[in-house]
Structure 1
Amino acid sequence: MKSFRVKIIAVIMGMMVLLEGCWDMKDINKAYLPVVMGIGKGSKEKYKIILEIPDAAGKIQFLEKEAKSISKAIDLIRTDSEKSINLVHLRLMLFDRKVVDDGIRDIIDYAVRANDISIKGMIAIVDADFDKTLYHVISPTPEISTYDFFSKEAGWTPNQSLVTIWEAYRSQNSYSEDIAVPLLQNGERTIYAFKGTAVMREDRMVGKLNREETFLYNLFKGNYSGGTIEIAENTSVLIKQSKIKHHRHWSDKGPSLATDITLDVVIAESPSGKSNVQIEKEVRDQLNRNFEMTLKKIKGYRSDVLGIGVMYRPQLTEEQIKNWKSKWFPKLEQKINVRVNVINEILIKDEAHLDQTFIR
């Protein structure tokens, strides 16, 4: 009998040990799950933090606090909130342009150190009225989320730049690479409107690319899916495949890079009578001309947003890597040569063909 009691006590103690790890579990219905964090300048404190929290019905709730640090502002939000705040679903960090002008190194470092923030989350800069953009909402639709603007499975196109928290952290600690960050404002009938791309040098904005230049930036990076190129006389083509090959060289004058980009395209729109050869030439000439102007503009910012320094890292000394942005990148001679292949023709069906099609 005594042995039986000992066994019962052992079982009970074992169950208590198993349950011990669940004592602080919280009901998910008792937690707020923000998807957007806005980081602006406070009226009284250094930071103003705005959290955007959607619900199942598509409605948005906003929680806001000011503090000298981001973590303190979030703690103050937690203090006044009737639910716990969990940042594991945070998809987007929006920076006020005024904050970016002072540098975002500390903010990115915080995001990487925070245990409950995913480094896969996106970042963007609000180049407009910060409060108006953050508090801007459209009619409640559960199918639409703020993150869709940056999702390649939803609203993203190659005319928009895209960068994650991790990429920003890697860039601001790199001697050989910078990043391009999307610039946003509130839309009229959409959540956001894309204004262009901020060219960053380390943790500060030094210039801006427009939509067409952003498209070229993405094309160079290999992000072309869904890209449409418009040329003169109501003609446009859709990129189906892109092949990029770089030819590096280092001489006594410094680095030089020749890049061959081969595009396979299909015709989306074209006036009748225009040949494929003519379309190929127009697209090729336009892209080569635009690439040349864009490369000159980027070089003037002394920002390696194209990540060219990364290509040279294996053949550079440690000292050359450290001096890449200040010494070697300004000396870079770069040339891009675009080739275009039209892989389809416009198919015009006559009435007889259409009738046969419907009969089948």
Structure 2
Amino acid sequence: MLKKAASLILISLFAGMLSGCWDNRDINHRALPVTMGVSMKGDNYNVLLLIPEPVENTTRIRLVKGEGKTVTEAIDTISRDMESFVDMLHMKVVVFDKALAERGLMDSISGFMRARDISPKVIVVITDDEINQFFKRSQKTMAPEGTTLYDCFEKDAGWNPEIALTRVWEVYRSIHSYTRDVAIPIIQAGTKTMIEHNGSAIIKNGRMVGRISSEETLLMNAFSGESSYGKVEVMNHASVLIVSNTFRNSSKVVDRTPYMNSKIILKVSLLETRENTNADLIREELEKVLTLRCDAVIEKMKANEADVLGLGQFFRNKLPRNELQHWRTEYLPRLKMNFEVRTIIQNEGNLKMPS
């Protein structure tokens, strides 16, 4: 009986030691950065972290820096030198220096996916500014909670259809895809606002090879299914509000030349008009502007051999698998693309126009 009792006591003790979150740190001993900046100096990565800290009924933003052979090593260096453990669980945005983006993001993005310290849903951004200057200037206009930059890309906050919205997992997918590339938003520190948008970077195999304008980014978002509601298209004779957009696509391959027809159906509402302007003239001008913009995006894709519209997805079942790896270099430059734009003016705006 004594042996059984002793055994039960030992089992209870061991069970108590094994249960519970013995390796967890108290929330008060964790630093939770919301934004990270990454650049390179020589062969080393420079990492900056924006960490909100509660101070006397408010929050202040703390900017800390680290350096290492990898991004993970730089973060570990920061965590080692701080009084709190750096936990990347709440990371929202990663900002890359343009020079690093042109050099290539493959190692950084692959490291994020492999280590899993950072969520694959984190938004990826590129800055035209030098990374240290960008964070110092934007820090002055940032809200105390530190999420202002993230709000610029949040659909329920400051995002609009002219802004690319690309996450870590999408960049990683494009690196390992034969038929799909991505565009990453380009920003700089603003003078009257926290940031200013400068279009989007064309990313091919994890490297920045070109850029498109904000208006061309709108087309890319619409093509990929992102809503373009709220976009005001300013023309010579009128301003319109794009209410909805629909794409209808068909594709074929003839003698190793890909052909694609894309019909864009836009529903718009008139906002402003000039004198002697009628609906037919507005419709004609809008369709001409959008057709030229579509053609410009295709030409940039061909010049950079980067498929940011993901057109190769429409040819995956029309080409042998061993030919898909040549989509960017052989098939995309020969692509024959036909855009047809149809505009439906569904009403004359919120105000009644004079007869």
Q: Same fold (TM over 0.5)?
A: yes
Distance 2:121 2:314 in 1: 24
Aligned twin of 1:83: 84
Question: What amino acid sits opposite 1:84 in the alignment?
Answer: F
Of 177, 180, 185, the residue aligned with 2:188 is 185
Distance 2:325 2:104 in 1: 21
Q: Which runs of 5+ in 1 are unaligned?
A: 351-360
Instruction: Answer yes or no: is the 8 Å Cα contact 2:221–2:228 preserved in 1.
Output: no
Question: What amino acid sits opposite 1:138 in the alignment?
Answer: K
Deviation at 1:222, TM superposition (A): 2.2
Q: How many residues align?
A: 348
Distance 1:113 1:279 in 2: 51
Aligned twin of 1:29: 28
1:304 to 1:45, Cα distance in 2 relative to 1, 3 A: closer
Deviation at 1:55, TM superposition (A): 3.4
- The range that moved more, 267-276 or 304-313, is 267-276
Q: Does 2:16 match 1:16?
A: yes
Instruction: Answer yes or no: is the 8 Å Cα contact 2:35–2:91 preserved in 1.
Output: yes
Deviation at 1:215, TM superposition (A): 1.6
Distance 1:288 1:195 in 2: 22
Q: Does 2:39 match 1:50?
A: no
1:186 to 1:12, Cα distance in 2 relative to 1, 3 A: same
Structure 2 counterpart SS, 1:303? coil
Distance 1:348 1:204 in 2: 48
Aligned twin of 2:337: 334
Deviation at 1:83, TM superposition (A): 0.5
Structure 1 counterpart SS, 2:140? coil
With normalisation by structure 2, the TM-score equals: 0.90
1:188 to 1:59, Cα distance in 2 relative to 1, 3 A: farther
Structure 2 counterpart SS, 1:278? helix
Of 120, 138, 141, the residue aligned with 2:140 is 138
Deviation at 1:80, TM superposition (A): 0.5
Deviation at 1:293, TM superposition (A): 2.4
Distance 1:104 1:259 in 2: 32
Distance 2:102 2:351 in 1: 54
Deviation at 1:334, TM superposition (A): 0.7
Distance 1:326 1:159 in 2: 28
Deviation at 1:305, TM superposition (A): 0.9
Deviation at 1:41, TM superposition (A): 1.6
Deviations 1:260-315 (A, max 9, x none): 01011122333366333332222112111222222222221111111111111122
Distance 2:140 2:269 in 1: 35
CA RMSD of aligned residues (A): 2.4
**Residues 266-277 of structure 1: matches in 2 within 5 Å?**
266-271=269-274, 274-277=277-280
Aligned twin of 1:129: 130
Deviations 1:181-232 (A, max 9, x none): 1111111132221111111221211111111221222222222333424233
With normalisation by structure 1, the TM-score equals: 0.89
- The range that moved more, 279-288 or 240-249, is 279-288
Aligned twin of 1:356: none
Instruction: Answer yes or no: is the 8 Å Cα contact 1:256–1:334 preserved in 2.
Output: yes
Aligned twin of 1:92: 93
1:16 to 1:337, Cα distance in 2 relative to 1, 3 A: same
Question: What amino acid sits opposite 2:139 in the alignment?
Answer: V
After the TM superposition, list the runs of 4 or more consecutive aligned residues in structure 1 that deviate by more than 4 angstroms.
Answer: 1-8, 347-350
Deviation at 1:131, TM superposition (A): 0.9
Structure 1 counterpart SS, 2:298? helix
Distance 2:4 2:206 in 1: 68
Deviation at 1:325, TM superposition (A): 0.9
Q: Does 2:225 match 1:226?
A: no
Distance 1:294 1:10 in 2: 71
Distance 2:48 2:298 in 1: 37
Distance 2:112 2:4 in 1: 54
Q: Does 2:110 match 1:109?
A: yes
Question: What amino acid sits opposite 2:183 in the alignment?
Answer: A
1:75 to 1:288, Cα distance in 2 relative to 1, 3 A: same
Distance 1:188 1:99 in 2: 24
